[in-house]
Structure 1
Amino acid sequence: MAFKMDTPVIVAAIDFGTAYSGIAFQFKHEFEKDPTKISAPQTWNGGKPNLMSHKTPTCLLLDNNEESSSFGYEAEDKYADLCMDGKHTDWYFFRRFKMRLHEREGFTKSSKLEDVSGKKMEAIVVFSKSIECLTKVLIEMLDRQGALVRQTEIHWVLTVPAIWDEPSKQFMREAAVMAGIKSDQLDIALEPEAAALYCQHLPLDRFVDKADDVHFGALPPGSTYMVVDLGGGTADMTIHQKTKGNQLKEVAKASGGPWGGTAVENEFLGTLEDIISKDAMEMFRKQYIYDYFDILREFELVKRKISMKTEDKLTIKKPVALDNVCEGNSFKELLEKSKYSPDIVVHLDKLRLSPDFVRELFRHITDKIVKHMEVILSSCENVIVILLVGGMSESLFVQDIIRSRFHGKNGVRVITPEEAGLSVLRGAVIFGRSPDVIETRVLRYTYGVYITPEFDPEVHPEEKKIIKAGNFHCRDVFGVFIRVNTPVEIGHSVTKCYSTIAPFQSAIRLQIFSSSDPEPKFTTDPGCLKVGELAIFIPDPSAEQRSVFVEFKFGYTELQVLAFEATTRFPIITSLKMNE
């Protein structure tokens, strides 16, 4: 939804990631001088000098009153201290919970999330408290800099994967509003779009592959490129075409899957589980949480070092606690009996990992990424550049794999910006200044409403027959008004007319549905998802039938809905309510 503020003093972005989250901001005068001059402070400390970072782990610590919140490395360290002191039972610790919105099976506004110990809390609270923590850090940072900025002078941008559905984006907006951000001061930015927008402004020397001499920002109108956003949780891919005036047009709908950096980490944790058993690994995670966090941080460094050319073994510190959970055996003894010896070797207090073993952990994920890229490119043969962005794109091994498969094939060039993990965050700031830069998007879903037309025995199944106002009708019918894969310009509208069915009816309520099927018949079909319920409030209800026009507007990052009284064309108050 485009923001109402014409010239906000500051645009602030929150990249709310699966594995890591970050914040960035930019003053109006900085944007006018250099759009890439964006502050993304290296403010997070992971307890190790080489883990000072622009981002922090996406984890939240709350007490029983859902207060005393801390976020990121601070939350990890504080929770570990509470565990060691035996005081953690009255606290909630949530970690890497964003993927629940990607999975979404049965997920609604009232859904609950389990923390690491199994305690539950409403998901909307967990997300909103996390956003609140991030906004607080940014406000405090501005205060320390002496920036005399009022809250009303800040426009916020929150990033989400392009492959997310409408309810997930709506959920994040509601969480941000609960966190204290006004809805008209908030934009939702799609991650690969934001990254591409940032890279448009980068000079050639800000890309890793300078020898290729591909100046992304100077690609001529008509050039088609693929954005591959590899984050912590998802791989998010889309194809854009540059148009005149450096505008962008989406030519293939966003797609992808759960193939981010955390999937590689899970492969490593699965290896440890194979060695010491599932129960022992669970004991290690619960009873020795400090060591658990530590080994994950150590493995994060390994992920950053490995490449196709790496020959030497990689080293991480072996926690003593691994021996404590092995029930009569040492970790070394169990390892030597496993299929992972000699790929993993214990040397004193270190684990030595063979580069082939680490590369194989990646291949379980990169094979899926490459296969999906091949499918997309097979249907769009005029792609000339593949732009790798996102935190996982900083992996030398991932770069090597994708370049070896695609670079130079059919004239395609694979390029990666420096600090690829920050391209989404910085691009979100630029998006906040120019949200209409994407002039055309391709719909990922078919949209429609729940309707109950007159029953037709030649079309409708008998089990869906109902009696309504004395006549036979069919329930659960999907009333399509726009189909998946339709290219839509920003503001593309579809207008429908709806009428009251009872005297003095004060509101018309419509259930909006989406589907991945271009021709869904019923709202109960596989792949159909209820987006939410639209309430259209009738002004001055009367005994006569009243009609309203509902305008569904597409092409933005979120679905927009407007309603008008049919005879006067006066706007009517509407409320799109997320599934409870």
Structure 2
Amino acid sequence: MFIYISITIWIFNQIMFVDSFIERCNASLLTVKHVSECPTDLTSYERAAKQMNCQNLAIDFTKCKRFQYHCVLSEDLTSLVEVCAPSIGIVGNVCAKFSKSLRSIIRTHYLNCTQCPWWYNSTTAYNYPVCYDINSSQNRITNGLQGSVKKIVNVAVFAVLCILLVIAWCLWWWCREKQRMKRDATDPLVIVAIDLGSSFSGYAYQYTRDNQKEPTKNILLPSWPEKNVNVSKKSISCLLLNPDGSLNSFGFEAVNVNSKMLRDQKKGKFKNETFPSYSSPDCFLFQNYKAILCEKDFEGKTMIRDETGRKELPISTILQESIRYFFVKALENLLEERNIKQEDVYWVLTVPAIWNDSEKQIMEEAAEMAGLPQNSFTLVSAEDAALLFTKEQDLFCKIRDGKEVFVPIDPMKMPTFMVMDLGGGAAKTAVHRGKTVPKKIVMINEACGGSRIDEAFLQILKDVLEDKFDECKRNHPDEILETQEDLERKKKIICDKTPYISIRIPQCIIDIEGYKYKFENSEKYPGLKVVRGKIHIPNVMIRDLYSKVIDEIKRTIYSLVKEDPISVIILVGGFSESNLVFESLKGYYKDIQILRPHESGLSILKGAVMYGFQHLQISEMHSRYCCYSV
């Protein structure tokens, strides 16, 4: 840095930029007096300065700083002048002179001074009497002009060399960064997978060092606190966008923010400093939008209506802001955890297996718009990710030495098997056939999603409370969602022997007059009980809630197995964690092995992380051993 500063000062000196730092003073023009000689020592200088008496002249010099006595060359270098003027620094081994046109002491560019130092104060010019020799000054000017031409040539050559040096440094830096980005893309410090689900979404990550030790272990997922309760390792798929389409919040936070805005709007207290001219209904709230994308083909400009049904935005914007939320959250977490930067991360995004290439391209474009660099991410189908994770789990029971042991499955040894992703919005089923190059047959049935249980439960509340429930849902959606989250937890532990389940009643329903009587005396739903702020739903009614969904799952399986026998069905997805669903399918299909990995609801996310490492390994092998020609 010191070298660069020194070079810059030298160039400024040579190309005469020093004159930009003069001290103009109009009062100096009134003090100019031609003399035959100047002081040559401090004593004579002090005597002349006292006689000139610059500080007490009857002129207005108040606007001039350092108004002091000088004896220097005239502007045309033909005589000597005494003048009262602000002192300046003379730079570059040259003499000083007074310029009437500039109204200031300045350096004499072409008058070299062998006695002068590289820098001195203009008031000390008396120390360099060689500058006062006018006859020799003319010769030195001629020589100085000749020398200046050489200097200009030297400066030009030096400037060209500097420019070439800068260009060379920029090329080196660009090549280094390009190589580093290429290296980071194939050897990141961490892989992060993002799964946008119909009901729940989240991200998982694994550090490269942990993967090298044990690929299926130490795949980490953050906990999502919702009302101070860690519901799961995923957050609810709820996106709140500002009136301009930018990200506001996601998950339970989005529901809370939206509910507060609606209540403040109703009370006349709503205020948004970022968008002062908008009201709360101008924001966009989207839920279960991923399920819509599995039901029909779509384009980037396909419009999706929000929860109000009156506003809509393109699906590309919704995907973009959803990805952005997890992108930012993951980077914040990694930075805090191990000081991981964006360039150290490789990303994997899950997509439904039924999506075509153009729909996958929309997802890729949304990811890039969200901030993911083009070469730093890849896509994987949710079913393939789940299978990748599942085949590493000890699910098959074998008899070895008279003992039961569980071993990982080997898809290559199974002629036909099925991976069924039971999510919140729908059941996505992929049938794998063949040993060497398996072909997939994909089917989606939205009637099999876990959200159907939620809808049936909410229908009970609506049938019992009628219009009061709609009012409660409209004014307090966060409280209704809390009740659904309570149901979500209970859905995983319900089984045939469960006598009843107890679901917390939202406060907005408790505030309804006679709500307890309405539940306990319902003709359509006999057996409901209200105990200490919770509604007890009997086993018979529970099975009725599940029966339609389980029957749809069975019909989906039957439609795929009627042509070719299937030996194994692997259940993944959040709804597969329901014990009632798992037990019902195991009891119904005696000749088919029904397998469910541990934490089956997270198998897609964890499998996507594993896919990221495998994908990079394959890419690195191709780049190392394959050649391409254009």
TM range (shorter): 0.5 to 0.7
Match for residue 509 of structure 2 among 307, 319, 322: 322
Displacement of 1:44: 0.6
Could you say if the C-alpha distance between residues 188 and 220 of structure 1 is closer, same or farther in structure 2, counting changes exceeding 3 Å? Answer: closer
Q: How does 1:147-546 map to 2 (within 5 A)?
A: 147-149=339-341, 151-203=342-394, 213-218=405-410, 221-240=413-432, 243=435, 249-258=437-446, 259-277=448-466, 279-311=467-499, 313-322=500-509, 330-335=514-519, 338-381=522-565, 383-406=566-589, 408-409=590-591, 412-435=592-615
> Contact 1:317/1:351 (CA < 8 Å) preserved in 2?
yes
2:228, 2:558 → 1: CA distance? 39
1:187, 1:343 → 2: CA distance? 51
Identity within the alignment, % = 28
> Contact 1:19/1:96 (CA < 8 Å) preserved in 2?
yes
Q: TM-score, normalised by structure 1?
A: 0.66
SS at match of 2:417: strand
Displacement of 1:367: 0.7
Of the two, which has the highest radius of gyration?
Answer: 2
> Contact 1:42/1:53 (CA < 8 Å) preserved in 2?
no
Match for residue 124 of structure 1 among 316, 335, 357: 316
2:240, 2:209 → 1: CA distance? 37
Q: Which moved more, 1:334-343 or 1:228-237?
A: 334-343
- Matched residue, 1:65: 244
**Counting strand residues as a fraction of each chain, which structure ranks higher?**
1
Could you say if the C-alpha distance between residues 176 and 339 of structure 1 is closer, same or farther in structure 2, counting changes exceeding 3 Å? Answer: farther
> Contact 1:45/1:52 (CA < 8 Å) preserved in 2?
yes
SS at match of 2:359: helix
Could you say if the C-alpha distance between residues 52 and 271 of structure 1 is closer, same or farther in structure 2, counting changes exceeding 3 Å? Answer: closer
SS at match of 1:256: strand
2:573, 2:226 → 1: CA distance? 20
Displacement of 1:165: 3.8
Could you say if the C-alpha distance between residues 228 and 75 of structure 1 is closer, same or farther in structure 2, counting changes exceeding 3 Å? Answer: same
2:374, 2:390 → 1: CA distance? 28
2:452, 2:245 → 1: CA distance? 30
Could you say if the C-alpha distance between residues 570 and 36 of structure 1 is closer, same or farther in structure 2, counting changes exceeding 3 Å? Answer: closer
- Matched residue, 1:529: none
Could you say if the C-alpha distance between residues 206 and 161 of structure 1 is closer, same or farther in structure 2, counting changes exceeding 3 Å? Answer: farther
Displacement of 1:290: 2.5
SS at match of 1:175: helix
SS at match of 2:570: strand
1:368, 1:120 → 2: CA distance? 31
Q: Which moved more, 1:127-136 or 1:287-296?
A: 287-296
Displacement of 1:570: 8.8
Could you say if the C-alpha distance between residues 252 and 343 of structure 1 is closer, same or farther in structure 2, counting changes exceeding 3 Å? Answer: farther
Q: Following TM superposition, where does structure 1 have runs of at least 4 consecutive aligned residues deviating by more than 6 angstroms?
A: none
SS at match of 1:170: helix
Q: Which moved more, 1:226-235 or 1:166-175?
A: 166-175
1:395, 1:212 → 2: CA distance? 26
SS at match of 2:217: coil
Match for residue 76 of structure 1 among 239, 255, 258: 255
Q: Unpaired runs of 5+ in structure 2?
A: 1-182, 271-279, 623-627
1:206, 1:168 → 2: CA distance? 40
Displacement of 1:95: 1.9
Displacement of 1:133: 0.5
1:423, 1:367 → 2: CA distance? 24
Could you say if the C-alpha distance between residues 136 and 235 of structure 1 is closer, same or farther in structure 2, counting changes exceeding 3 Å? Answer: same
SS at match of 2:503: strand
Displacement of 1:191: 1.0
Q: How does 1:84-103 map to 2 (within 5 A)?
A: 84-86=263-265, 87=270, 88-103=280-295
Structure with the larger RCO, 1 or 2 (CA within 8 Å, 6+ apart): 1
Q: How does 1:26-65 map to 2 (within 5 A)?
A: 26-49=206-229, 51-65=230-244
Q: Deviations over 1:78-104 (max 9, x none)?
A: 223333333333433222211121123
- Matched residue, 1:137: 329
Displacement of 1:285: 1.6
Displacement of 1:252: 3.9
> Contact 2:196/2:350 (CA < 8 Å) preserved in 1?
yes
Could you say if the C-alpha distance between residues 282 and 194 of structure 1 is closer, same or farther in structure 2, counting changes exceeding 3 Å? Answer: same
Could you say if the C-alpha distance between residues 436 and 182 of structure 1 is closer, same or farther in structure 2, counting changes exceeding 3 Å? Answer: closer
2:414, 2:547 → 1: CA distance? 34
Displacement of 1:293: 1.5
1:69, 1:301 → 2: CA distance? 27
1:413, 1:212 → 2: CA distance? 16
2:241, 2:251 → 1: CA distance? 12
Q: Which moved more, 1:331-340 or 1:170-179?
A: 331-340
1:137, 1:156 → 2: CA distance? 13
- Matched residue, 1:540: none
Q: Which moved more, 1:331-340 or 1:192-201?
A: 331-340
Displacement of 1:52: 4.0
SS at match of 1:98: helix
> Contact 2:494/2:579 (CA < 8 Å) preserved in 1?
yes
1:24, 1:348 → 2: CA distance? 38
Q: State how many pairs are aligned.
A: 421
Displacement of 1:6: 3.2
Could you say if the C-alpha distance between residues 170 and 280 of structure 1 is closer, same or farther in structure 2, counting changes exceeding 3 Å? Answer: farther
Displacement of 1:363: 1.6
Could you say if the C-alpha distance between residues 319 and 15 of structure 1 is closer, same or farther in structure 2, counting changes exceeding 3 Å? Answer: same
> Contact 2:284/2:311 (CA < 8 Å) preserved in 1?
yes
Could you say if the C-alpha distance between residues 298 and 17 of structure 1 is closer, same or farther in structure 2, counting changes exceeding 3 Å? Answer: same
1:386, 1:68 → 2: CA distance? 39
2:324, 2:404 → 1: CA distance? 42
> Contact 1:306/1:355 (CA < 8 Å) preserved in 2?
no
Q: Deviations over 1:132-151 (max 9, x none)?
A: 000111101110112333x3
Q: TM-score, normalised by structure 2?
A: 0.61
RMSD, aligned α-carbons: 3.1
Q: Which amino acid letter does the alignment assign opposite residue 273 of structure 1?
A: K
Displacement of 1:394: 0.5
Could you say if the C-alpha distance between residues 99 and 220 of structure 1 is closer, same or farther in structure 2, counting changes exceeding 3 Å? Answer: closer
Could you say if the C-alpha distance between residues 437 and 361 of structure 1 is closer, same or farther in structure 2, counting changes exceeding 3 Å? Answer: farther
Q: Which amino acid letter does the alignment assign opposite residue 193 of structure 1?
A: D
